[in-house]
Amino acid sequence: MKDGFYISAYITITKLGNLYRAGHRHDESIALWQKKGKKVSLIHYWELERLTGIKQQRLPFFDIKQFRHIINGLLREYDITLDDVIEIWGVPELQEDDSYLSKYLFPDYALHGFAHLASCIFMDMDIFKNNNVLGFSVDGGSDSTIDAYDREGRSEYDRYHFIGCYSEAKKNKLNLFPAVSPAEIWGWSLMRYNIREGTLMALASASESEAYYDIESLFPFDEYKMGPGIRQRIFDMFDEIDHYKKDDIGIKFNYFDEKFSEKENRISMAMKIVQQVSYKIMVNSIEEAIDRFGIDTENTYLAMSGGFALNCPCNTYLMDKYHFKGFIAPPCVSDSGMAMGIGLSSFYVRTLGDFEFKFNHAYYGDSYNVKDFLAKGEFSNFIESVEEFDAAQVVKDMEEDIVIWYEGGAEVGPRALGARSLIGDPRVMWTKERLNEVKKRQWWRPVAPIVLKEKVGEWFRNEYESPYMLHALELLEDKREEVPAIVHIDGTSRLQTIDAENPKIYLYQVMKEFERVSGVPIICNTSLNDKGEPIINRIEEACNFALRKNIKVAYFNGNRILLRNHEQYKNEEVLKRKLRMEIWKDKLDKQEFINKYNPYNLSEKEVFVYTFTNMYKGIELFDLDYEEQKKIEKQVKDFLKENPLFNKHVLLVRIMNANLNKKKMER
């Protein structure tokens, strides 16, 4: 394998998809790697939502020309172009061959799932090679853009989506096995309540209402797997709880928590059950692995990736129950980490595991220079003063109000880790209220703490590090009143730990000073973004946020920026991001593109399905059984005999949509 630069990308390229925002990958990302001998380094990680402002970015590139133009712009920072890149992985339109794909080593397992797995088990190759590792890929399902069919004609959807693996120390051998992902149930919950999984998880623990529900009835065969009927039983449970009334108090549930609406109480009760089911599914998977491989958990690392790995309570539950040697997961465990996973998977396949890599920290995103920002003068009328860093002054500012904290390279993943954060004093509940007001969040939404790593054991029952905010630890009872702003109703906090090795050197100094002044080694931390907006990327975006939210003080790479004239700032909208992927100039121009590339006038929904059928060359993906698929194929063939000039894909889309809508009505 040649030394040099490589790119792994989790994006799509389709003209119709770009015109209609009909992308089949979400949380798109691009990773730049460099290989020197056996050493592999992650140079930069771009989450496209940070550049476009489209949360959970799923807007495809229009064509290869646009992709090359945009990527060359990103690479300019390193004085290279795509011509200097040896290979691009993850995008079928850009690859020279597909020999990097995991299906050639593990033909029974989907690339999407294996990439998730690779992003955790290979994030520290020294740990992987010299320790026992039990890993799980637990997300909502495959995307299949790159790996639609293998040599035998099997599609990604004929393979196992969710993967477990066990690797024994010093053997460099992956033992893969099919796993079960609780993320599917959380996806059904999102569909039911139209509330994102993270908010549902928070609501589960926010109220004290609890249903007296027989969880075992959801899995009548005592197998915590997604077998036939489980989805229906989950929705039946939702239906039952939705009909709980006050007359059922003490019979079907304990009571309605008066701090919440009855609807919120019911959702909270249902999600408590989903959380408990999730625990049981993961325990079942781990127990099966222990029995199969004879695993000693205290001498084994637990590695997890996929969207479900964002479930902090479950991660902590598993660590407490099995006392694993350690927990391995990147901050970007969701699909935002797929470019990383595709890259590490490819290096593993190409070298058969003979490479060195360590994910050193979370901060591989963009960084911007304060001097350049000030020189532009765009916000000069709103800047009162610029002062050098003083940790004592930061603490004073935090005691007055919340503070914008912007330091160095952006963190990767969906959670703020001290690079693009709002920080505040955890000793007063007002801080939580102010943060939720500024973020336009529900009053009950918890605020996460940053905690000095060396002090975790003095404040929390569980003592282990959580550098990427993937654990919810229980605060000691005698400490809870000291930090009310960061305590959930169940007494836990979803924390990030930080120490002197963290690249955010200014933030660490603030933590130490806050502890010196207050005796508390904890501060409040939440992501720097408005409702519906991705985490802020540039300094200009942070200033726009501060002026709209009446925040007086911002710290940019250590510089204290005192803001003024907030009332004169007339922009009430989120500042537009730097990257625009739409290719049209105006509505008229867009319509001309649509007329050209959508001559059959497909609806937006039909375009979404059409791009899938083009991608998979078939219809096995959709929610139709085998007989229904065969019936549709016959309808298409019969029609085309009579109308040979009609576009086959368009007809297929319309017949499939009719059948899918019919099935929904029948449900």
Where does the pLDDT of residue 222 fall: very low under 50, low under 70, confident under 90, or very high at 90 and above? low
For residue 495, give the H/E element and its range. strand 492-498
What's the topology of domain 110-338+351-359?
A: Nucleotidyltransferase; domain 5 (3.30.420)
Q: What is the pLDDT of residues 15-29, one digit of tens each?
A: 888 998 888 889 999
Q: Are 559 and 387 in contact, with CB atoms under 8 Å apart?
A: yes
Q: In this model, does residue 615 exceed pLDDT 70?
A: no
Q: In this model, does residue 454 exceed pLDDT 60?
A: yes
Backbone dihedral angles phi then psi of residue 185, each to the nearest 5 degrees: -65, -40
Q: In this model, does residue 543 exceed pLDDT 80?
A: yes
Q: Which part of the chain has CATH 3.90.870.20?
A: 370-566
What's the topology of domain 1-96?
A: Nucleotidyltransferase; domain 5 (3.30.420)
Among the listed residues 540, 496, 542, 538, the one whose alpha carbon sits nearest the alpha carbon of residue 521 = 496
Q: What is the pLDDT of residues 70-102, one digit of tens each?
A: 999 999 999 999 999 999 999 988 888 888 989
Please compute Rg for the chain using Cα positions.
26
Where does the pLDDT of residue 457 fall: very low under 50, low under 70, confident under 90, or very high at 90 and above? very high
Among the listed residues 22, 168, 147, 171, the one whose alpha carbon sits nearest the alpha carbon of residue 91 = 147
Q: In this model, does residue 620 exceed pLDDT 50?
A: no
> Within 10 Å of residue 69's Cβ, how many Cβ atoms?
12
pLDDT of residue 157: 56
Where does the pLDDT of residue 635 fall: very low under 50, low under 70, confident under 90, or very high at 90 and above? low
Average pLDDT over every residue of 170-196? 92
Of 3.40.50.970, 3.30.70.870, 3.30.420.10, 3.90.870.20, the CATH number of 370-566 is 3.90.870.20
Q: Which part of the chain has CATH 3.30.420.40?
A: 110-338+351-359
Extract long-range pairs of 225-229: CB within 8 Å, 24+ residues apart. 225/180, 225/281, 225/284, 226/180, 226/181, 226/184
Q: Indicate the pTM of the whole model.
A: 0.90
- The single-letter DSSP state of residue 604 is H
